[in-house]
Amino acid sequence: MIVSKTDNIPTKRIVSILGNISIRRAEAFSENEEKAMQKLIRKAERMGANAIINFSYRGSGTWGTYGSCSGLAVIIEDINPGHQDQNMVYCRNCGKVIEIFARFCKHCGSKQ
Ligand SMILES: [Zn+2]
């Protein structure tokens, strides 16, 4: 699960917006940010999301007042122009697809 405080995630694109999620005020308060985020993540997972954007957490020093924790549950995927396999890259020399960890291109033999 990726959690972002902004409305976009570098190298990913949003393919589906599932909806706003939040945890109840009393819950948000009694927890620190990390615990509140974990609860929000579980909610997002139940909705089938793989990321939360626009995450916000606001605690409060005073029990019962300003606590809130919310976000937008979304489904994201890698932005990967040209081909689907994220473990592949292009050869620096010939431009053909090679494995990301390949030291030499299997097509032209050039060092990567
Ligand atoms: Zn090559």
Residues 14, 60: one domain? yes
Q: Domain range spanning residue 19? A: 2-78
According to the model, what pLDDT value does residue 20 have?
A: 96
Instruction: Tell me the whole-structure pTM to 2 decimals.
Output: 0.64
Residues 35, 85: one domain? no
Residues 74, 97: one domain? no
Residues 85, 64: one domain? no
Residues 43, 31: one domain? yes
Task: Tell how far the Cα of 66 is from the centroid of ligand 1, in angstroms.
Answer: 58
Task: Tell how far the Cα of 99 is from the centroid of ligand 1, in angstroms.
Answer: 11
Residues 104, 92: one domain? yes
Residue by residue, pLDDT tens for the chain (112 residues) are 999 999 988 888 899 999 999 987 666 556 677 888 899 999 999 999 999 999 988 765 554 455 678 999 999 988 765 555 567 788 899 988 888 888 999 999 999 9
Domains identified in the chain, total number:
2
Task: Tell how far the Cα of 80 is from the centroid of ligand 1, in angstroms.
Answer: 20
Task: Tell how far the Cα of 109 is from the centroid of ligand 1, in angstroms.
Answer: 6
Residues 45, 24: one domain? yes
Alpha-helix runs per DSSP H in the chain? 25-30, 33-47
According to the model, what pLDDT value does residue 85 have?
A: 58
Beta strands 97-99 and 88-90: pairing type? Answer: antiparallel
